[in-house]
């Protein structure tokens, strides 16, 4: 893949990540700061009704683009990225089987995986953006995201930020499915 195509892929994923971040923050704010618990919220209702499909689509595209970066573009994942992949890859199967069986009771399986992946992503992103180069958990001497292979929108979008966005969106979708309308 040539560098121009990689740049367009990064821009596409970066734009999608920013949109997903905004939607996740709005959904979490609506979920936890609702004034009336009895009033129907169309946005949260849509997420609640379709959370299996939304979670499947987010996790499927995340896995696919993760594999595109590692197998086609040859950006090998660091060990923190591998830990996040361990949490992400099973989510595609869990959401897929849940859609097949029409089983909405998968929160207890998906929330721990998405939360652990989110914590790894927060840790990696914190050190990526705010850590000193001497204290980075994943240095640039070997396989490392700190080589800044993806750097779009002024450096805001990177591989750790893409991962953080994915896990934030998955945790948001699962939390909405679990907590929305529980107190009606």
Q: Which element (helix H / strand E) includes 67?
A: helix 51-67
CA 13 to chain centre: 12
How confident is the model at residue 149, as a pLDDT?
Answer: 65
Structure tokens at 32: 């936890």
Domain residue spans of the chain = 3-31+41-179
Report the candidate in 90, 106, 109 with the shortest Cα–Cα distance to residue 98: 106
Report the candidate in 133, 125, 111, 119 with the shortest Cα–Cα distance to residue 161: 125
**Residues forming beta bridges with residue 157, ordered by sequence position:** 152
pTM of the full structure: 0.87
160 versus 170: the higher-pLDDT residue is: 170
Average predicted confidence (pLDDT) for the chain? 83
Q: Distance between the two ends of the chain, CA-based, in angstroms?
A: 52
Phi, psi of 157 (to 5 degrees): -90, 120
């Amino acid at each position: 893949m040539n560098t121009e195509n990689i740049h367009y892929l990064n821009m596409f994923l970066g734009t999608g990540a920013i949109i997903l971040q905004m939607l996740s923050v709005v959904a979490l704010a609506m979920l936890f700061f609702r004034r009336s618990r009895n009033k129907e919220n169309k946005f949260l209702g849509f997420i609640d009704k379709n959370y299996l499909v939304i979670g499947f689509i987010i996790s499927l595209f995340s896995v696919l683009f993760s594999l595109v970066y590692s197998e086609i573009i040859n950006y090998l994942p660091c060990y923190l990225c591998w830990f996040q992949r361990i949490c992400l890859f099973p989510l595609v199967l869990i959401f897929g089987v849940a859609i097949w069986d029409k089983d909405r009771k998968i929160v207890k399986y998906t929330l721990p995986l998405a939360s652990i992946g989110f914590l790894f992503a927060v840790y990696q992103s914190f050190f990526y953006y705010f850590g000193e180069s001497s204290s980075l958990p994943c240095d640039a001497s070997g396989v490392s995201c700190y080589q800044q292979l993806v750097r779009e929108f002024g450096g805001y979008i990177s591989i750790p930020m893409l991962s953080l966005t994915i896990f934030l969106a998955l945790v948001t979708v699962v939390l909405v499915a679990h907590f929305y309308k529980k107190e009606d």
